[in-house]
Structure 1
Amino acid sequence: MSPAPEAGSPGVRSAHRDLQITAWALAAGTGDREAAERFVHATYDDVRRFVAHLSADVPGADDLAQETYLRALTSLAKFAGRSCARTWLLSIARCVVIDRYRGAAARPRLADSTDWQSAAERAQPRHLPGFDESVAVFDALGALDPARRQAFVLTQVVGLSYAEAADAAGCPVGTVRSRVARARRDLTAVWLADRDPGLLPVRAASR
């Protein structure tokens, strides 16, 4: 039997944070405005980071996040706490991004991977360490199949477990694991190709 996690371990702290966020969401659903403010403050960075990576639209991330909270806050009274509130919120964020894609389907895409990289360059001071690496990651993520990018961002960027990511994405845990593995392979291929243009990434069919 594996030992129980220590009280100060990252896993315990994350679980405690999720319990607190869920408690605030439940209280906000009863009309507690302070709890609603705490809920938004505690989750905003996760939501913004998620929609930015999932949509490949850094400049529009705040608008997508605001739309997410508009939907979430009007639905909090129906939230029963059967799942973590953060997972529930990210599933709403996913729907917001999907709706944005559907709305833009009939017109040219406003933010391709090149535009996304340019936006990231404008948003981050060049003298900060890791700037080039950050832009490279943004660009590589923007080139991923959307389903793989979503699974990778949920688990590797936002920090959800595979089970939580499956709830947020509305698919089986095994599918999330497969998409993350494929995303890692695709990212590796992109980075290798960037170093040696003769090594072109091979994109398999999405799952």
Structure 2
Amino acid sequence: MMTSALPTSHGKSGTTAALDESITAWALAARGGDTDAVEQFVGALHRDVQRYVAHLCGDPQAVDDLAQDTFLRALGSLHRFEGRSSARAWLLSIARRAVIDSYRHAAARPRRSDVPDWQTAVELTQPRDLPGFDDGVALLDLLTALPDDRREAFVLTQLLGLPYAEAAAVSDCPIGTVRSRVARARATLMDLLAQAETRSTVAA
């Protein structure tokens, strides 16, 4: 059953902030050659990177390759990471560039299909057999109705948990723009959920 609950708009929780501090510490340690820290860093953010690139790209078969490309770029650039932002925001910025570069590369070649199928890729990255999984899939399905920029802002802040300032840095736009996009995305999703529940009630 689909519920009307959307992720609550709020800043980082203490747990998320603590995790981000750990991830950033691992990235800095990995920069110094700590192989265990490299594994911790990659393992902690691999799923977030997959989810993010899945929302940005239109080819579900490219998600794993884009995630791998993101980490290869990040590990090759770790010597330039100084911890001024969280490692999560830094890595998602790299993921965004990887997707953009893949679009530019693909633009030079004909594509078999232009049908966006990003939600399939996202669903494949979601944990199954857990409470709320069906609601999560329903929400991902509704996200297809959002413009790309609003969907990206919603995913970064409401699903991946980035604060608005870091989401703005990842998206390369002002923080006020991110707040506006998220607010409009939430309003649209609430309307769509209300419409879906009305149809469900009528059908019942």
- Tell me if both proteins adopt one fold, taking TM over 0.5 as the criterion: yes
Match of residue 164 from structure 2? 162
Match of residue 29 from structure 2? 27
Match of residue 112 from structure 1? 115
CA distance in 2, matches of 1:30, 1:149: 36
Q: Contact 1:48–1:61 at 8 Å: present in 2 too? A: yes
CA distance in 1, matches of 2:175, 2:52: 19
Q: Contact 1:112–1:142 at 8 Å: present in 2 too? A: no
Secondary structure of 1:60's counterpart equals helix
Deviation at 1:139, TM superposition (A): 2.8
The one-letter code of the counterpart of 2:170 is A
CA distance in 1, matches of 2:36, 2:82: 19
Gaps of 5+ in 2: 1-11, 200-204
Q: Contact 2:74–2:94 at 8 Å: present in 1 too? A: yes
Deviation at 1:49, TM superposition (A): 1.4
Q: Contact 2:51–2:125 at 8 Å: present in 1 too? A: no
Deviates more, 1:11-20 or 1:151-160: 11-20
Match of residue 82 from structure 1? 84
CA distance in 2, matches of 1:191, 1:109: 33
Q: Contact 1:53–1:138 at 8 Å: present in 2 too? A: no
Structure 1 residues 128 and 35, CA, compared in 2 at 3 Å: closer, same or farther?
closer
Question: Which residue of the other structure, out of 23, 31, 42, is the alignment partner of 2:44?
Answer: 42
Across the aligned residues of Structure 1 and Structure 2, the Cα RMSD in angstroms comes to 3.0
Match of residue 4 from structure 2? none
Q: How does 1:36-185 map to 2 (within 5 A)?
A: 36-105=38-107, 107-108=110-111, 110=113, 112-113=115-116, 115-116=117-118, 133-185=135-187
Match of residue 6 from structure 1? none
CA distance in 2, matches of 1:167, 1:121: 26
For 1:46-72, what per-residue CA distance to the aligned partner results, in whole angstroms no more than 9, with x for missing partners? 111111122254443221111110110
Secondary structure of 2:13's counterpart equals helix
Structure 1 residues 35 and 116, CA, compared in 2 at 3 Å: closer, same or farther?
closer
CA distance in 2, matches of 1:39, 1:178: 31
Secondary structure of 2:84's counterpart equals coil
Q: Contact 2:55–2:119 at 8 Å: present in 1 too? A: no
TM-score w.r.t. length of structure 2: 0.76
Structure 1 residues 143 and 19, CA, compared in 2 at 3 Å: closer, same or farther?
same
For 1:107-151, what per-residue CA distance to the aligned partner results, in whole angstroms no more than 9, with x for missing partners? 3474634x4455667788998765654443233323422211111
Q: Contact 2:67–2:95 at 8 Å: present in 1 too? A: yes
CA distance in 1, matches of 2:73, 2:124: 30
Gaps of 5+ in 1: 1-9, 198-207
Deviates more, 1:20-29 or 1:56-65: 56-65
- Count of residues paired in the alignment: 187
TM-score w.r.t. length of structure 1: 0.75
The one-letter code of the counterpart of 2:184 is R
CA distance in 2, matches of 1:152, 1:189: 15
Deviation at 1:172, TM superposition (A): 1.3
CA distance in 1, matches of 2:167, 2:111: 30
